[in-house]
Structure formats: structure tokens, C-alpha cells
């Protein structure tokens, strides 16, 4: 109770220190006087209790030792595995049976088919205790493991820190509610409600973070990719081959024409040379 009254005194003092009106200062002074009077009463009562017989300092009181209980570690496990199979249909059935036997479930599945390959990406959620069992079962299933990545993140310190701050925020919220009961004017009620709203938002944010961490710790996430490479089943016919040959010939012809234009200086010099030779022959014939 003494801590609560001290907290009331602190809140009232902080509230009365700003630029409020005379009415607000008067309300704050009333709360201040109330807090100081209640604090004085509690001090007298505690002093009386300490002077009661049978509770002197000379009498040794048994002290109960608190046993420190170590919090379990909070580990977030995530991983990814890529498998290459020869028969996709039978392999995917076998893999899903392994997932089911590990008490896991598929939260997302994306299958993709092309002319050359077929693949399936599965997002698997499994309890933290069965994560290693699932990974081992997939590795020993008889398929080629092309890639594997396992990560572990220790969030124990963050978890404990959030719990401690959440406890403090809840205690603060309770103190504000007690102050709310002592409020006498609308102005006082609005001020306390403003503080309550801020504390409540912080509490909800911390609770959301704890819920997220608990979910990640309780259920690990494994991303599994299963793929099969296929030969190209498409064999072009005579029409396609003839069309391809015509296209190739046309490309060669365009290349020759373009090459001819690239050599225009040679053709220009050759033309002038032929013209000179032709004129010389005509001149000789006339002579």
C-alpha cells in the first residue's frame, strides 16, 4: 500500500508540474494531500505493528529459501531441404506419409510443372520435439538430398525480458485503476484514462510478441522442395523441321545481305577501278 501511495504522489506531482489551469492544479493538490495523509496513516499503522509483542528483532524468524527454477530454453528451429526424385507421384505420396508419421502438417503447398521438370514446395509445421525426427526421416527416405539448411535461434533471453516487462506493465495498470477509483473530477478521470490507454497498448504489444515467440518455439518450420527432371517429350514433325530450316535459311540470307553492306568500301573501289579500265579500252579503240 505504501508503494501505491508513493506512486499516487509521483503521478500527481508529475501531473501538477505542467501548464495546467488553476482548476486542474486544485484537483491535483487534493489528490496530493490525500496521498500524503494516507501515507502518514500507513506509516503509523506499520510502526504500531512493529511494536506489538512477539515481533521484536531479538526473536529469530525462520527464513524460507527460494528455490531458483531454471526456465526451459526457448529455441526456434527452422530449416530447408531439397530432394531430387526419379518418380514424382510415388515419391510425393511416400514423403507425405513421413510427414504424417512425424505428427506434422503441411501449411502451404506449391506445385509447378513444365515440359522439362516437375517440382513441389511444401511448407511443413512440426512440433519442436519431432523436428529432428522429421528431418532424419526425409534424409533416410532414399532420395537424393541436393541441399539442406538447418537454423536454430535462441530467444530465451528475449522471452524472459518480455515476461518481466509485461509483469511490470500489468502492475502499473493495476495502480492506475486504483487511482481511477480515487478520481473526483472529469479532468482527473480523463488524465488517468490517458495513462491507462498507453499502458494497455504496451501490454497488448508485449502479449502479441510472446504469443508469436511461443508459436515459433512450439512449432518449427521446414521448407521441403521435391523435384524431378524429365526428358523433353516433344518431338518436332516434318512441318516443324521444314519451318525451322526455312527460318534458318532466311537468317543466312539476311546475314549475307548485311555482310554485303558492311563491305561497301570494297565494292565502291572496285566499281571505280572497273570504270577507269572500261574508259581506257574505249579510248584505245577510237585511236
Residue 238, pLDDT score: 67
What does the alpha-carbon distance between residue 81 and residue 126 come to, in Å, rounded to a whole number? 14
Q: Which residues of the chain have pLDDT under 70?
A: 1-72, 231-238, 287
Enumerate the β-bridge partners of residue 108: 123
For 224-274, the three-class secondary structure string (H helix, E strand, C coil) is EEEEEECCCCCCCCHHHHHHHHHHHHHHHHHHHHHHHHHCHHHHHHHHHHH
Evaluate whether residue 194 is within a structural domain.
Answer: yes
Q: Are residues 84 and 129 in the same domain?
A: yes
Furthest CA-CA distance within the chain: 158
Q: Are residues 6 and 139 in the same domain?
A: no
What does the alpha-carbon distance between residue 173 and residue 159 come to, in Å, rounded to a whole number? 21
Look at residues 146, 141, 119, 147 and name the one whose alpha carbon lies nearest to residue 228: 119
Residue 205, pLDDT score: 93
Q: Are residues 41 and 77 in the same domain?
A: no
Q: Are 165 and 212 in contact (CB under 8 A)?
A: no
Q: Are residues 98 and 202 in the same domain?
A: yes
Look at residues 169, 180, 234 and name the one whose alpha carbon lies nearest to residue 207: 169
Q: Are residues 109 and 225 in the same domain?
A: yes
Residue 261, pLDDT score: 74
Dump the DSSP string for 195-232. Answer: HHHHHHHHHHHHHHHHHHHHHHHHEEEEEEEEEEE---
Q: Are residues 112 and 25 in the same domain?
A: no
Q: Are residues 189 and 83 in the same domain?
A: yes
Question: What does the pLDDT look like over 161-204, one tens digit per residue?
Answer: 999 999 999 999 999 889 888 888 888 889 888 988 999 999 99
Question: What does the pLDDT look like over 38-72, one tens digit per residue?
Answer: 444 444 544 444 444 444 444 344 444 444 445 56
What does the alpha-carbon distance between residue 74 and residue 159 come to, in Å, rounded to a whole number? 8
Q: Are residues 43 and 151 in the same domain?
A: no
Residue 67, pLDDT score: 44
What does the alpha-carbon distance between residue 70 and residue 102 come to, in Å, rounded to a whole number? 29
pTM > 0.75: yes or no: no
- Look at the chain and report how many structural domains it folds into: 2
Q: Are 119 and 262 in contact (CB under 8 A)?
A: no
Q: Are residues 166 and 82 in the same domain?
A: yes
Instruction: Name every residue whose Cβ is closer than 8 Å to that of residue 50 and which is 6 or more positions away in sequence.
Output: none
Q: Are residues 27 and 116 in the same domain?
A: no
The parent domain of residue 79 ranges over 73-230
Burial class for 85, CB neighbours closer than 10 Å (0-12, 13-18, 19+): buried
Beta strand 219-229 with 117-127 is antiparallel
Amino acid at each position: 500500500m505504501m508503494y501505491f501511495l508513493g506512486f499516487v504522489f509521483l503521478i500527481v506531482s508529475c501531473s501538477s508540474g505542467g501548464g495546467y489551469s488553476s482548476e486542474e492544479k486544485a484537483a491535483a493538490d487534493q489528490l496530493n494531500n490525500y496521498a500524503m495523509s494516507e501515507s502518514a496513516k500507513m506509516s503509523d499503522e506499520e510502526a504500531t505493528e512493529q511494536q506489538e509483542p512477539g515481533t521484536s528483532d531479538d526473536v529469530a524468524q525462520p527464513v524460507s529459501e527460494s528455490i531458483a527454477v531454471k526456465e526451459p530454453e526457448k529455441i526456434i528451429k527452422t530449416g530447408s531441404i531439397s530432394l531430387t526424385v526419379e518418380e514424382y507421384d510415388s515419391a510425393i505420396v511416400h514423403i507425405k506419409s513421413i510427414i504424417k508419421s512425424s505428427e506434422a502438417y503441411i501449411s502451404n503447398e506449391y506445385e509447378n510443372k513444365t515440359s522439362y521438370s516437375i517440382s513441389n514446395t511444401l511448407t511443413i509445421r512440426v512440433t519442436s520435439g519431432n523436428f529432428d525426427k522429421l528431418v532424419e526421416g526425409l534424409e533416410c527416405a532414399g532420395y537424393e538430398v541436393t541441399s539442406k539448411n538447418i537454423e536454430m535461434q535462441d530467444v530465451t533471453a528475449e522471452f524472459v525480458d518480455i515476461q518481466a516487462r509485461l509483469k511490470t506493465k500489468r502492475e502499473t495498470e493495476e495502480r492506475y485503476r486504483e487511482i481511477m477509483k480515487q478520481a473526483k473530477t472529469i479532468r482527473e478521470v480523463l488524465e488517468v484514462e490517458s495513462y491507462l490507454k498507453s499502458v494497455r497498448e504496451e501490454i497488448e504489444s508485449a502479449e502479441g510478441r510472446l504469443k508469436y515467440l511461443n508459436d515459433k518455439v512450439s512449432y518449427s518450420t521446414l521448407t521441403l522442395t521435391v523435384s524431378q527432371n524429365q526428358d523433353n517429350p516433344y518431338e518436332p514433325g516434318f512441318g516443324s523441321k521444314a519451318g525451322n530450316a526455312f527460318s534458318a535459311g532466311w537468317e543466312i540470307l539476311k546475314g549475307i545481305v548485311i555482310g554485303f553492306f558492311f563491305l561497301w568500301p570494297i565494292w565502291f573501289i572496285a566499281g571505280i577501278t572497273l570504270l577507269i579500265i572500261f574508259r581506257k579500252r574505249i579510248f584505245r579503240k577510237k585511236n
